[in-house]
Amino acid sequence: MADTKTPAASLTARFPRASLGHFPTPFETMDRVRTSIACAAPLWVKRDDCSGLAFGGNKVRQLEFYLGDAIVQHATTILITGAVQSNYVRTAAAAAAKLGLKCVVQLEDRVQGKDALYKESGNVLLDHLLGAEIVHYPHGEDEAGADAALEALANAARERGEVPYVVHLSEQPRPLGTLGYVVAVEELLAQAASEQVTIDTVILPSGSAATHAGVLVGLHALGRGDIRVIGACVRRAADQQSARVLRVARAVEGLLECGELVSSDDVHVDESALGPGYGGVDAGTRAALASAAQLEGLILDPVYSAKAFAVALSWCAGRESDAATVFMHTGGTPALFAYGADLVHHKE
């Protein structure tokens, strides 16, 4: 069992890591939002949208560990799969460009009924600009199939003499990206201590569960398992997502060889903002986007961060406490530009 006071940087020190982001990211108050919802408790935001690389976001932290591993393996080509407006895909393309690697991105058709703007703007535009090779996968809810298609592309790359490195979509035996949020927790706690802020709750989007599980394991490894982590469901119902978070947490613990730190009682998910499902926008998502923008000048995205912020608004409304809630802004800003029909042109 690892020492519960071991710094996260020490826990992850043996894993190769590429330097890609601007860290630490800002830690700011959200006083105008807090006042608007009659919240007497402190409300802060961890600005991982400011992580630097190609519009930033949480994937920068995750890719530092994947790309570090890829470099050690002398990879020449990075392959990754994700939704059409995937932030992960865009950030991987940027990381590959920064490190002088080729990048193949596979875009899955997860969100039905979208217009040409969705298929060509936002992250897709950036994928092209960053020089990624783009291929398409026609299904949206088939993680195993998407990964199998990616492996086929990797095999083809090997036959051409390239050295491929695959960042899978499905749960993996080595979820290296989660380590970025084990480290992020140490950063957050240091900032809170500097500001003399006591944290009792962290709210973040929960999709692949990499960020959610990394934060959970990081907090427990640092002796702060008392901090509640609430994951806002952005792709799956609560029962499915909670099971996934625990499985990924176990995989993180396995990577760190720290024993089981997180229990099922530590896994909290909230599906109240899931709405019409992954990439779907409803009135609650629009309201959360507007609140952050008009009260704090904070730009969210409709797929991940706005749904998590909707959960944060509900959690904090009328709350009275001396301890702070921290909203983890995981970025995703470029995707906003693909959702004009759902936002600016939408009529309630």
**φ and ψ at residue 278, rounded to 5 degrees:** -55, 125
**298 phi and psi angles, rounded to 5 deg:** -105, 125
Helix (H, G, I), strand (E, B) or coil at 254: helix
323: confidence class by pLDDT, cuts 50, 70, 90: very high
The reported pLDDT for the residue numbered 346 is 62
Residue-wise pLDDT tens digits, 70-109: 999 999 999 999 999 999 999 999 999 999 999 999 999 9
Task: Give the strands of the sheet with 228-233, arranged side by side.
Answer: 27-29, 43-47, 324-329, 199-206, 228-233, 268-270
- What per-residue confidence (pLDDT) applies to 345? 62
Q: How far apart are CA 202 and CA 224, in angstroms?
A: 12
Residue 28 pLDDT greater than 70, yes or no: yes
Min mean pLDDT across 117-121, 159-163, 327-331 is at: 117-121
Do 8-57+175-342 and 62-167 agree at the fold level?
A: yes
pLDDT band at residue 9 using 50, 70 and 90 as cut-offs: confident
pLDDT at 1 over 50: no
Is 342's pLDDT higher than 70? yes
Note the pLDDT of residue 314.
97
Known catalytic membership, residue 272: no
Please state, rounded to an integer, the average pLDDT across all residues of the chain: 94
For the stretch 320-324, contacts whose Cβ atoms lie closer than 8 Å and that sit 24 or more positions apart, written own/partner, are 320/40, 320/41, 321/40, 321/41, 321/200, 322/41, 322/42, 322/198, 323/41, 323/42, 323/198, 323/199, 323/200, 323/201, 324/41, 324/42, 324/43, 324/44, 324/192, 324/197, 324/198, 324/199, 324/200, 324/201
Which range among 110-114, 163-167, 205-209, 330-334 shows the weakest confidence by mean pLDDT? 110-114
Specify the pLDDT at position 306.
98
Is the pLDDT at 5 greater than 90? The verdict is no
State the DSSP string of 48-109: GGGS-GGG--THHHHHHHHHHHHHHTT-SEEEEEEETT-HHHHHHHHHHHHHT-EEEEEEE-
Q: Is the pLDDT of residue 65 over 70?
A: yes
Phi then psi for residue 232, to 5 deg, are -80, 120
The model's pLDDT over 30-64, given as tens digits with 9 standing for 90+, comes to 999 999 999 999 999 999 999 999 999 999 999 99
Spot the catalytic one: 10, 19, 51, 86.
86
Confidence of residue 347 (pLDDT cuts 50, 70, 90): low
pLDDT, residue 14, reads: 94
pLDDT at residue 195 in the model: 97
pLDDT greater at residue 16 or residue 139: 16
Report CA dihedral (230, 231, 233, 237) to the nearest 10 degrees: -70
Is CATH 3.55.50.30 what the domain over 62-167 is classified as, yes or no? no
The arithmetic mean of pLDDT across residues 168-190, rounded, is 92
Answer for the pair 266, 215: CB distance below 8 angstroms, yes or no.
no
105: amino acid identity, one letter: V
Mean pLDDT of 220-236: 97
Task: Sort strands 324-329 and 268-270 into parallel, antiparallel or unpaired.
Answer: unpaired
Domain ranges of the chain: 8-57+175-342, 62-167
Would you place residue 2 in the very low, low, confident or very high pLDDT band (cuts 50, 70, 90)?
very low
How far is the C-alpha of 74 from the C-alpha of 273, rounded, in Å?
42
CATH fold label, 8-57+175-342:
Rossmann fold (3.40.50)
